[in-house]
Amino acid sequence: MSKKVIAMLAMASLFIVATGCSNKEANSNKTSVASKVEVDTTITLGDTIVVDGEGVVVEKNKVTINSSGTYSISGTLRDGQIEVNAGDEDNVQLILNGVNITNSTSSGIYVANSKNTYVILEDGTSNEVTDGENYIFEDISTDEPNAAIFSKSDLFISGTGSLKVNAKYNNGITSKDDLEIADGTISIDSVADGIRGRDSITISSGNIIINSQGDGMKSNNDEDTEKGYVLIEGGTINITSGEDGIQAETVATITGGDITINSGGGNENTSKVHSDFRGFGKTQGAAVEQDEEIDTTSTKAIKAAVNVKIDGGNININSADDSIHSNDKVEINGGTINIISGDDGIHADSIIDINKGDIIIVKSYEGIEAETININDGNIKVTASDDGINASGGNDGSSINGRPGQNNFASAGKGTININGGKIVVDASGDGLDANGSIYMKDGTVIVNGPEDNGNGSLDYDGEFQITGGLLIASGSSGMAQSPSETSSQNSINIFSAIQANTLVRVEDSSGNEVVTFVSSKNVQSVVISSANIKIGETYKVYTGGTSTGSVNDGIYSEGSYSDGTELENFTVSGVVTNIGQVTGGFGGPGAGIPGQGEFPGGEMPKRP
């Protein structure tokens, strides 16, 4: 049986003893923990420390617990320490029953040795631990303990009381092994990291507030692939961190809870200056994107070297750097995620899988970025100052450990976007959907409000864009406009016309039945529409302007009646891609009216035969 399983079983048995009732009964029963646990020893702190029981040695202001048992501690300890130095197989339970511990030269609570140490916060009590700005170590060969609460053994925190930790020297709460929090109201102010569990951090419940100048939570075991993880199963967590909010050396998993993270001072304090130098036209090469790193400090919100996995929870992020970042893979299977980012909203060096969930990226440089992006379901809204969804995009120089270049993509030209379902709404000032390879769409709804300048396009791919199902509406400039590929089995039209923002575009069949009624939020010159209702050999009309009595959702109107529009063109679909109309001036911007710019010289878009 694994160490973690044994520890959790021990913790579970302790909770049964501590409560003596079911979870439901425990929530309504205000009887103290101490009254239900068989306490072996009571320790009353003060100018004179009083011990009633065994297993304790007092020397001046230092209380040493040297054997297994349950110890109830209360009172104030000025410039002293509670030390646990028990046997290798000893389980020690510390009931904090209203304590205030300060230590000017070391940890307030120090677990030097035990099998497991359990800190139980007595119901209705307030507890506080404060260390000093300068530590005095036992000898020059060690720098431990180095946190206000420090444990060399597995550390478990539970109970319904409160704990305030003031870490003036280094970290707030540190375990060299596993660290688990099952309950309690815990507030940490730290000059370095808030919570650190070298092997792992698990949060199952509780109300946790972290204000740290370093990372909020960090698990950093890089020697064992099964360790170095962070698991959040529930609770309310509020992190304000100078550096990363949550950092896992291997995997960061969130299955529930209400999580709020502000890292690095938020998006307005981004450490990167983005510049974008693009050549004229597709034939002159791809864009050269430069991300200048002003400060190498990593200020991401949720970061892992191997995998960030989100199965549930309510997550709100405001980050200076990437909001969700993995040096390998990101997997989202549920939850509600709101992101404001100074850099990428969601970034993975390798793969991003989105299978479910509500994702709103309110602000970002690039919204979703990885070499391979698979969107199978979910409701996704992305706002980006550059590319909305980018397969194999720019180089994020601040990696998991801040080593420049660690986040380079494997290779150019292999980027792939696979859309198999869900609803995706993109508002991008750069490219809307951008793949340094290919895009494949089988189902779902994709709406792109793309760029107004002609140096970018609502769709940008180097290989092919094969669409076999779903609804695609992509509006943007015409200078770099692309349509889905001829290899598609679902037909598309590309409407070229200078259309003002908030002007309706309607496509209907020869009987007047609606195919699409859409309104772009920007001035556009190209509107790509792909739908199963666009069929070869049938005749359609395109109108601009007018009004609709239908309800509008993300720019698409449903039901209602359309009237007073101006007919742009009457056309018959004769192939997989049909171009309609032309742009004769448009709205300007880079590349407007320049011969050879974009796909159609001179800005005039020829109709397909």
Close Cβ partners of 6 (under 8 Å, ≥ 6 residues apart): none
Instruction: Domain count for the chain, please give it.
Output: 1
pLDDT tens for residues 374-433? 999 999 999 999 999 999 754 444 333 433 333 444 444 789 999 999 999 999 999 999
**H or E element at residue 17:** helix 3-19
Q: Specify the pLDDT at position 597.
A: 33
- Buried b / exposed e across 425-437, counting CB within 10 Å, b at 16+? bbbbbbbbbbbbb
pLDDT tens for residues 103-118? 999 999 999 999 999 9
| 320 part of a folded domain | no
Q: Which positions of the chain have pLDDT values less than 70?
A: 1-36, 271-295, 393-412, 583-609
Q: Specify the pLDDT at position 541.
A: 97
Q: Specify the pLDDT at position 138.
A: 80
From the list 598, 559, 603, 579, the residue with the least C-alpha distance to 491 is 579
**DSSP output for 75-104:** EEETT-EEEEE--TT-EEEEEEEEEEEEES
Residue 574 corresponds to which tokens in the numbers above?
């004769």
| 82 part of a folded domain | no
Q: Specify the pLDDT at position 584.
A: 54
| 591 part of a folded domain | yes
Contact 252, 233 (CB under 8 A): no
| 466 part of a folded domain | yes
Mode of pairing for the β-strands spanning 504-509 and 514-519: antiparallel
Q: What are the backbone angles phi and psi of residue 8, rounded to the nearest 5°?
A: -70, -35
Q: Specify the pLDDT at position 223.
A: 93
From the list 246, 116, 94, the residue with the least C-alpha distance to 161 is 94
The rounded distance, in Å, linking the Cα atoms of 461 and 438 is: 6
| 325 part of a folded domain | no
| 254 part of a folded domain | no
**DSSP output for 225-266:** TT-SEEEE-SSEEEEEESS-SEEESSEEEE-S-EEEEEETT-
Close Cβ partners of 178 (under 8 Å, ≥ 6 residues apart): 3, 4, 7, 154, 155, 197, 199, 200, 201, 202
Tell me the longest C-alpha to C-alpha distance in the chain. Answer: 97
Contact 303, 322 (CB under 8 A): yes
| 482 part of a folded domain | yes
| 319 part of a folded domain | no
Contact 357, 334 (CB under 8 A): yes
Q: Specify the pLDDT at position 32.
A: 55
Q: Specify the pLDDT at position 479.
A: 92
pLDDT tens for residues 160-182? 999 999 999 999 999 999 999 99
- Buried b / exposed e across 563-597, counting CB within 10 Å, b at 16+? eebeebbebebeebbbbbbbbeebbebbbbeeeeb
**DSSP output for 179-191:** EEE-S-EEEEEES
Domain extent at residue 489 = 444-603
Q: Specify the pLDDT at position 392.
A: 79
The rounded distance, in Å, linking the Cα atoms of 347 and 370 is: 6
Q: Specify the pLDDT at position 278.
A: 41
Q: Specify the pLDDT at position 296.
A: 75
